[in-house]
């Protein structure tokens, strides 16, 4: 599992997907759903919810809750009991806390 600082994580995201954070894409370690914060916003989440959910919660959680989104129903989150099952990343915040997050999608078009 990759372990990196928040700054390095952000640099990598920008290199992969561009400067607009709403376009950064993440993959669920359980079901494989790939989504960006913009997909969560389009489904009816606030920008704040979308930002956090996209890297720690599968968009299938929204489908599971009955919101309109085209995705496999899935209830996975990185902050759950099993985290990302070793398929995600650990981001180290400036204050030294470690947070488990979903991995980036391989390609911007995924």
Return the minimum-mean-pLDDT range out of 45-49, 55-59, 71-75.
Answer: 71-75
Q: Where are the domains of the chain?
A: 2-104
pLDDT higher than 70, residue 71:
no
Task: Give the angle subtended at the CA of 94 by the CAs of 36 and 75, to the nearest 5°.
Answer: 35
Task: Tell me what the mean pLDDT of segment 23-36 comes to.
Answer: 93
- pTM beyond 0.75: yes
- pLDDT tens figures, 83-107: 999 999 999 999 999 999 999 998 6
- pLDDT tens figures, 5-23: 999 999 999 999 999 999 9
Tell me the two tokens of residue 62: 């929204």
Q: How many Å apart are CA 94 and CA 17, to the nearest integer?
A: 23
Cα 54 versus chain centre, distance: 3
- DSSP at 56: H
Q: How many Å apart are CA 71 and CA 14, to the nearest integer?
A: 25
């Amino acid at each position: 599992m990759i372990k990196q600082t928040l700054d390095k994580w952000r640099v990598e995201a920008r290199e992969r997907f561009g400067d607009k954070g709403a376009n950064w894409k993440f993959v669920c370690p359980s079901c494989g759903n790939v989504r960006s914060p913009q997909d969560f916003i389009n489904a009816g989440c606030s920008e704040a919810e979308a930002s956090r959910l996209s890297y720690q919660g599968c968009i299938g959680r929204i489908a599971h809750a009955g919101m309109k989104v085209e995705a496999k129903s899935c209830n996975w989150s990185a902050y759950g009991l099993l985290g990302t099952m070793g398929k995600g990343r650990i981001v180290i915040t400036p204050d030294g806390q470690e947070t488990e997050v979903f991995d980036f999608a391989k390609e911007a078009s995924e």
